[in-house]
């Protein structure tokens, strides 16, 4: 079940991705996921694993806790 916290995580990832100047496709390629999955995460429809959150944070050059 997706919660409000999951939606906030997705929104934060989206904001940081845009700030980094990356498209969903570019981020997906860098973290080896599909662009559709990135879209689902950003929309709060999917909950990423901790490993995925770590990869996204690393790619966006932020600390993992910055995503929460």
pLDDT (0 to 100) of residue 41: 96
State if pTM tops 0.85. Answer: yes
pLDDT (0 to 100) of residue 24: 97
User: What is d(CA 56, CA 30) in angstroms, rounded to the nearest whole number?
Assistant: 8
User: What is d(CA 12, CA 66) in angstroms, rounded to the nearest whole number?
Assistant: 8
User: What is d(CA 43, CA 28) in angstroms, rounded to the nearest whole number?
Assistant: 15
Domain 4-61: which topology? 434 Repressor (Amino-terminal Domain) (1.10.260)
Per-residue pLDDT of the chain (68 residues; tens, 9 = 90+): 778 898 999 999 999 999 999 999 999 999 999 999 999 999 999 999 999 999 999 999 999 999 98
* Nearest residue to 37 via CA among 55, 20, 19, 21: 55
């Amino acid at each position: 079940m997706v919660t409000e916290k999951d939606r906030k995580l997705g929104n934060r990832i989206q904001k940081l991705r845009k700030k980094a100047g990356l498209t969903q496709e570019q981020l997906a390629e860098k973290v080896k996921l599909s662009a559709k999955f990135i879209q689902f995460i950003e929309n709060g429809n999917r909950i990423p694993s901790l490993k995925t959150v770590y990869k996204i944070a690393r790619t966006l050059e932020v600390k993992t806790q910055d995503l929460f």
